[in-house]
A = this chain, B = another copy of it.
Amino acid sequence: MQVDYKQLKQFVSSVFESIGCPEQDADLAAHVLVSADARGIDSHGVARLAGYVRLYDNGRLNPKPQIQILHESPSTALVDGDRGLGLVVAPKAMEIATEKAAIAGTGWVAVQNSNHFGIAGYHAMKAVEKDMIGWAMTHAAPLVTPTFSREKLLGTNPIAVGIPANEEPAFLADFASTAVAYGKLEILQRKGLDTPSGWVQDKDGNPCNDAFAIKNGGALLPLGGDREHGSHKGYALGAIVDILSGVLSGANFGPWVPPFATAGFMQAGETVGNGTGHFLGAMRIDAFRPAEAFKDDMDKWIKRFRAADAVEGQKVIIPGDPERELEKIRLHEGIPLLDPVVADLKGLASRFSLDFNIA
Report A's interface with B, CB cutoff 8 A.
71-76, 78, 103-106, 108, 110, 133, 146-151, 153, 161, 163, 171, 173, 175-180, 196, 198-199, 204-206, 223-225, 228-230, 232-237, 239-240, 242-244, 247-250, 253-255, 272-273, 283-285, 287-289, 293-294, 297-298, 300-301, 304-305, 308-312, 314-317, 319
In the complex, the answer to whether B223 meets A234 with C-beta atoms within 8 Å is: yes
Partner of A247, one of B104, B179, B294: B294
In the complex, the answer to whether A297 meets B272 with C-beta atoms within 8 Å is: yes
> Of residues A199, A285, A288, A294, which shows the largest number of chain B Cβ atoms within 10 Å of its Cβ?
A288
In the complex, the answer to whether A105 meets B75 with C-beta atoms within 8 Å is: yes
Contacts of A205 in B (CB 8 A): 310-312, 314
Contacts of A255 in B (CB 8 A): 304
Contacts of A224 in B (CB 8 A): 179, 223-224
In the complex, the answer to whether A294 meets B248 with C-beta atoms within 8 Å is: yes
- Known contacts A72-B287, A147-B316, A249-B288; can you find 5 more A-B pairs with CB under 8 A? A73-B284, A75-B106, A148-B311, A171-B239, A173-B237
Partner of A74, one of B103, B146, B236: B103
Of chain B, the residue at the smallest CB distance from A234 is: B223
Give the complex CA separation of A244 and B71 in angstroms: 28
How many copies are assembled?
2
Contacts of A285 in B (CB 8 A): 248
SS class, residues of chain A in contact with chain B: mixed
Separation in Å of the A24 CB from the closest CB of chain B?
A: 28
Of chain B, the residue at the smallest CB distance from A70 is: B289
Q: Across chains A and B, which 10 residue pairs bring their CB atoms closest together, nearest first?
A: A73-B105, A205-B311, A173-B236, A76-B105, A148-B314, A75-B75, A73-B287, A76-B287, A75-B105, A175-B233
In the complex, the answer to whether B225 meets A229 with C-beta atoms within 8 Å is: yes
> Of residues A176, A178, A244, A308, which shows the largest number of chain B Cβ atoms within 10 Å of its Cβ?
A308
Contacts of A294 in B (CB 8 A): 247-248
In the complex, the answer to whether A312 meets B204 with C-beta atoms within 8 Å is: yes
In the complex, the answer to whether A316 meets B175 with C-beta atoms within 8 Å is: no
In the complex, the answer to whether A150 meets B248 with C-beta atoms within 8 Å is: no
Partner of A71, one of B150, B161, B283, B289: B289
Contacts of A249 in B (CB 8 A): 288-289
Contacts of A310 in B (CB 8 A): 148-150, 205
Partner of A287, one of B75, B149, B300: B75
In the complex, the answer to whether B240 meets A173 with C-beta atoms within 8 Å is: yes
Give the complex CA separation of A247 and B301 in angstroms: 8
